[in-house]
């Protein structure tokens, strides 16, 4: 995993992203239920990281009945486990994964001002972090690489 994107890497958006997410979940042996689709669509609509509460609120309003944050949370966990969503740890929130068919240790540039989280992939960087951990005989589950600062707009 030293070189970046020597495989065929696809970033998806719009309805194409929904289809890619569904295919990835079904390929993992999980069901693509109506509720899961609603949660994914809602997540994909957010440009900034969204919490389970944000998504539950929006879904409750759209469906005209209360959707419990706990059930949204469980679905988000399932999405993260199956590479359909990514958790931005320092924001305590989630983003739809634009490359659900392709695993990377995604890197986030998180703006302290507006909360925007720019997603980038660099397997050389994340591979380096994994290598450092391995050299310390640490068994890595996943590196969390987040950079805090100001986005281009907020930096003025
Ligand atoms: Zn890729
Ligand atoms: Zn990524
Ligand atoms: Zn910003």
Given a cut of 50, whether residue 2 has pLDDT beyond it is no
Average pLDDT, the chain: 94
What's the average model confidence in pLDDT over 15-30?
96
pLDDT tens for 131-143 read: 999 999 999 999 9
Dihedral pair phi/psi, residue 3, rounded to 5°: -95, 150
Q: In angstroms, what is the span from residue 85 Cα to ligand 3's centroid?
A: 22
Q: Contact at 8 Å (CB) between 114 and 123?
A: no
Q: Which residues are annotated as a binding site for Zn(2+)?
A: 111, 114, 151, 154
Given a cut of 70, whether residue 1 has pLDDT beyond it is no
Nearest ligand, CA of residue 152? 3
Q: In angstroms, what is the span from residue 17 Cα to ligand 3's centroid?
A: 25
Which residues, including other chains, have CB under 8 Å from residue 29's CB and lie 6 or more apart? none
Nearest ligand, CA of residue 112? 3
Where residue 50 falls (left for φ over 0; alpha for ψ -120 to 50; beta otherwise) is beta
Other C-beta atoms closer than 10 Å to the C-beta of 53 total 12
Nearest ligand, CA of residue 98? 2
pLDDT > 70: percent of the chain: 96
What pLDDT, on a 0 to 100 scale, did the predictor assign at position 10? 87
What's the average model confidence in pLDDT over 37-44?
97
C-alpha distances out from residue 121 to 10, 12, 20, 55, Å: 12, 14, 18, 25
Torsion of CA 45, 67, 111, 13, to 10 degrees: -20
What pLDDT, on a 0 to 100 scale, did the predictor assign at position 3? 43
Q: Which residues are annotated as a binding site?
A: 105, 111, 114, 151, 154
Ordered by start, the domain boundaries in the chain are 14-155
What's the average model confidence in pLDDT over 133-156?
97
pLDDT tens for 81-98 read: 999 999 999 999 999 999
Identify the band that residue 7 occupies on the pLDDT scale cut at 50, 70 and 90.
Answer: confident
Class of domain 14-155: mainly alpha
- pTM for this predicted structure: 0.90
What's the average model confidence in pLDDT over 141-156?
96
What pLDDT, on a 0 to 100 scale, did the predictor assign at position 5? 60
């Amino acid at each position: 995993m030293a070189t970046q994107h020597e495989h065929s890497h696809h970033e998806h958006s719009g309805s194409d992203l929904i289809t890619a997410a569904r295919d990835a979940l079904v390929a993992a042996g999980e069901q693509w239920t109506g509720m899961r689709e609603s949660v994914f669509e809602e997540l994909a609509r957010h440009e900034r990281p969204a919490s389970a509460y944000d998504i539950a609120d929006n879904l409750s309003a759209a469906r005209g009945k209360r959707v419990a944050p706990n059930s949204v949370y469980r679905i988000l966990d399932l999405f993260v486990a199956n590479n359909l969503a990514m958790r931005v740890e320092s924001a305590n929130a989630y983003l739809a994964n634009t490359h659900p068919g392709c695993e990377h240790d995604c890197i986030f540039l998180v703006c302290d001002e507006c909360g925007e989280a720019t997603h980038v992939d660099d397997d050389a960087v994340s591979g380096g972090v994994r290598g450092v951990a391995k050299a310390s005989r640490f068994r890595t589950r996943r590196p969390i690489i987040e950079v805090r600062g100001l986005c281009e707009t907020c930096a003025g």
